DNA sequence: CGTTAAGTTGTAATTTTACTACATATAATG
DNA sequence: CATTATATGTAGTAAAATTACAACTTAACG
């Protein structure tokens, strides 16, 4: 957790002199990280050991360690903190908070990923005869995006956001097919049923969902993405971004596995779009 | 500038021993910031002053100062900003790189945003009789996602990924309607045409696109998102994520503007989904 | 090929910085 | 008001970083 926030929140746990130190640091943290314990003590009108004790109270090993933490908090303003949007926030605040918490969630998501599973999934995708991406609600747009990416690879790829179409498609799947099911909660009934149908036809079912969910249990392979979601908003936000980034990773893995020639092919696909676009200004 | 990058780039300016130090630090920067100059010297098999000289060569005041810079580089989770995926990268590397460059792009996007414009857009959206989200290709899934979000707000909201449907929809638009057009490049012909049609019917046209683009010129209001895109991949990746996060911001602004009562309404929408889902395990 | 100069690295001493143990002061409780 | 607990500071100690200088290595030149 961000140590600057910690300082302002722990105010009550501090003693009188420690609070003086806290004030000085919060007032000008940039100066604090470039000061020695002696100068900081003088600035706060307390003794050096008091500063040291202050550091310890914040669960750091000592003053130098504290400075490191502080420096990290200051690195990019105060980035990657999972602060929640509040009723009183203006446009500036909520924009900042949403961007920052999205970034924080991506970091958490990245750390929760199992690289071996990613590698296996890329393996399966490259070997697939046909790839299907299915999701519902917010995850539908993720599946939609996956379609857009994999479509460029010139592989048979399918996407539906209609349950019945999804079902029918899975009924017709076979051993060489890969079905990717996307769901943040992993508790959407119809998706779980679809997993069962696909598995019944010996298709490989890959789940992009949270682990230990009903959907996860029905999949051949699960890429678990554990992302903290701000439930106050009643909308999926961070989970969706993490899923999309994962799609990027899988698509990238796919192209790398296919080699250089394949990449040239991608360029051709992109170039085809040129006709539908206005030219770029020459002098830009 | 990020000191980790600086280290890897300055390799040529280092002496033999200094390079040893650089290697050790790059191999495990997390350990480096928690070591003293003595232990770091031992790890690199050089003397303490050499480590000190190494720090000075990187324009830091000394070892402690160097550690602060290093800590800051490691803090934001994007130590190697904007590095491109390479042919030789394994799953571990490209996963890391994609997540990190996505985070870096979000940071850039956030800084390029004009808060006043955001505020105006939220204004317009809350006052709209009908909201339409249109995009093509990769931006179609962004529009799709926007539909999913704004649909929950119980406002008339429209989404099509079919050009003709988009056109027809715009032909029927009127003064109270808001049309949101999403395009990274802003040079997709049919979207520009749609903007003109909508404007011709006095609808408010909001563009989520790059500034100074043909599309931007046709819009009543433009939220410009300047995101660096890794063109090596021939796929839109970061731009899409930034657009989605912007949608989150707009949706959040919308709900905040509508007040607490409205938020309760959102909760009801979410609760309705419960029937379609398996219960959460009680003991979790 | 040897001599010299420039640059590199290490050793040891010095200085600075942080920490510990203990003493004193202040506040809290019965 | 006495007693205990808590908070703060002083002085000494340990550790860390820096400096000055010496030894070594490499490159340059006659």
Instruction: Look at A34 and B65 and tell me if their CB atoms are within 8 Å.
Output: yes
DSSP states along A124-141: HHHH-SEEEEEE-THHHH
Interface check for A249 against chain B (CB to CB < 8 A): the answer is yes
Which of these, B13, B38, B39, B9, lies nearest to B26 by C-alpha position? B9
Given a cut of 60, is residue A229 above it in pLDDT? yes
CA A49, C1' D12: Å apart? Answer: 13
Which chain B residues are closer than 8 Å to A265 by Cβ?
A: none
Helix or strand run (H / E) with residue A87:
none
For tokens 């596995």, name the residue: A257
Interface check for A237 against chain B (CB to CB < 8 A): the answer is yes
Q: Which of the residue ranges A30-44, A70-84, A194-208 would you say has the lowest mean pLDDT?
A: A70-84
Interface check for B1 against chain A (CB to CB < 8 A): the answer is no
| pLDDT score at A280 | 64
| pLDDT score at B256 | 87
Residue B177 and residue B179: Cα distance in Å, rounded? 7
Instruction: Look at B115 and A109 and tell me if their CB atoms are within 8 Å.
Output: no
Cβ pairs A/B, distance under 8 A: 206
User: How many helices (H) does chain B have, and how many strands (E)?
Assistant: 14, 5
CA B36, C1' D23: Å apart? Answer: 26
- As a whole number, the mean pLDDT across chain A is 84
Residues 19-48 of A with CB under 8 A from B: 33-34
| pLDDT score at B133 | 97
| pLDDT score at A58 | 84
Given a cut of 50, is residue A267 above it in pLDDT? yes
Per-residue pLDDT tens digits for A37-57:
888 888 888 888 888 988 888
CA distance to partner chain B, nearest, from residue A82 (Å): 13
| Under 8 Å between Cβ of A187 and B280 | yes
| pLDDT score at A78 | 42
Residue B268 and residue B92: Cα distance in Å, rounded? 41
| Under 8 Å between Cβ of A203 and A175 | yes
Given a cut of 60, is residue A282 above it in pLDDT? no
Alpha helix ranges (H) inside chain A: 3-9, 16-27, 29-32, 37-44, 48-57, 63-74, 91-112, 115-127, 138-151, 163-171, 189-200, 214-218, 238-258, 260-272
State whether the Cα torsion A272-A278-A244-A73 is positive or negative.
positive
Which chain B residues are closer than 8 Å to A252 by Cβ?
A: 85, 94, 98, 233
Q: CA B89, B91, B93, B94: dihedral to nearest 10 degrees?
A: 80
Interface check for B138 against chain A (CB to CB < 8 A): the answer is yes
Which chain A residues are closer than 8 Å to B74 by Cβ?
A: 72
State whether the Cα torsion A35-A40-A43-A44 is positive or negative.
positive
Asked whether residue B36, judged by its CB, lies under 7 Å from any atom of the DNA or RNA strand C, the reply is no
Residue B273 and residue A191: Cα distance in Å, rounded? 14
Asked whether residue B62, judged by its CB, lies under 7 Å from any atom of the DNA or RNA strand C, the reply is no
| pLDDT score at A158 | 94
More confident residue, B179 or A74: B179
Given a cut of 70, is residue A153 above it in pLDDT? yes
Q: B251 phi and psi, to 5 degrees?
A: -65, -40
Which chain B residues are closer than 8 Å to A241 by Cβ?
A: 241, 244-245
What is the pTM (predicted TM-score) of this model?
Answer: 0.69
State whether the Cα torsion A257-A263-A266-A268 is positive or negative.
negative
Count of CB atoms situated within 10 Å of the CB of B154 = 12
Given a cut of 90, is residue A202 above it in pLDDT? yes
| pLDDT score at A4 | 77
Q: State the burial class of residue B109 (Cβ atoms within 10 Å of its Cβ: 0-12, 13-18, 19+).
A: buried
Confidence of residue A263 (pLDDT cuts 50, 70, 90): low
Given a cut of 80, is residue A283 above it in pLDDT? no
Mean pLDDT of A55-72: 86
CA A53, C1' D1: Å apart? Answer: 32
| Under 8 Å between Cβ of B128 and B204 | yes
Which of these, A8, A188, A137, lies nearest to B152 by C-alpha position? A137
| pLDDT score at B205 | 96
Q: B134 phi and psi, to 5 degrees?
A: -125, 140
Instruction: Look at B141 and A137 and tell me if their CB atoms are within 8 Å.
Output: no
Residue A1 and residue A178: Cα distance in Å, rounded? 40
Interface check for A98 against chain B (CB to CB < 8 A): the answer is yes
In chain B, which stretches have pLDDT less than 50? 77-81, 282-284
- As a whole number, the mean pLDDT across chain B is 84
DSSP helix/strand/coil, A152: coil
Show which positions of strand C are touched by protein (CB under 7 A): 7-12, 16-21
Which of these, A243, A251, A240, lies nearest to A223 by C-alpha position? A243
| pLDDT score at B262 | 66
Instruction: Look at B234 and A269 and tell me if their CB atoms are within 8 Å.
Output: yes
- Residues paired with residue B277 on neighbouring β-strands, in sequence order: A188
Confidence of residue A81 (pLDDT cuts 50, 70, 90): very low
Which of these, B202, B283, B270, B206, lies nearest to A212 by C-alpha position? B283
Residue B177 and residue A29: Cα distance in Å, rounded? 48
Residue B62 and residue B130: Cα distance in Å, rounded? 61
Interface check for A141 against chain B (CB to CB < 8 A): the answer is yes
Per-residue pLDDT tens digits for A116-151:
999 999 999 999 999 999 999 889 999 999 999 898
Interface check for B158 against chain A (CB to CB < 8 A): the answer is no
Count of CB atoms situated within 10 Å of the CB of A175 = 9
Residue A233 and residue A238: Cα distance in Å, rounded? 11
Up-side HSE of residue B115: CA atoms within 13 Å toward CB? 11
């Amino acid at each position: 957790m961000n140590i600057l926030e910690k300082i302002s929140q722990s105010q009550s746990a501090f003693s009188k002199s420690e609070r003086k130190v806290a004030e000085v640091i919060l007032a000008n943290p940039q100066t604090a990280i470039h000061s020695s314990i002696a100068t900081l003590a003088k600035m706060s009108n307390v003794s050096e050991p008091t500063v040291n004790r202050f550091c310890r109270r914040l669960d750091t090993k000592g003053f130098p360690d504290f400075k490191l933490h502080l420096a990290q908090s200051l690195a990019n303003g105060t980035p990657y903190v999972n602060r929640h949007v509040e009723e009183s926030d203006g446009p500036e605040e909520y924009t900042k908070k949403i961007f920052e918490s999205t970034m924080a969630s991506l970091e958490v998501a990245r750390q929760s990923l199992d690289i071996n599973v990613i590698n296996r999934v890329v393996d399966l995708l490259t070997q697939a005869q046909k790839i299907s991406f299915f999701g519902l609600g917010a995850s539908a747009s993720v599946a939609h995006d996956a379609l857009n990416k994999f479509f460029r690879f010139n592989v048979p790829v399918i996407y539906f956001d209609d349950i019945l179409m999804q079902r029918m498609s899975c009924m017709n799947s076979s051993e060489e097919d890969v079905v990717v099911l996307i769901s943040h909660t992993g508790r959407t009934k119809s998706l779980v049923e679809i997993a069962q149908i696909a598995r019944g036809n010996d298709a490989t079912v890959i789940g992009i969902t949270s682990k230990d969910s009903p959907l996860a249990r029905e999949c051949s392979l699960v890429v678990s993405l554990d992302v903290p979601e701000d439930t106050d908003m009643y909308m999926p936000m961070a989970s969706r971004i993490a899923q999309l980034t994962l799609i990027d990773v899988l698509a990238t893995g796919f192209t790398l596995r296919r080699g250089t020639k394949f990449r040239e092919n991608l360029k051709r696909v992109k170039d085809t779009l040129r006709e539908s676009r206005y030219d770029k200004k020459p002098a830009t």
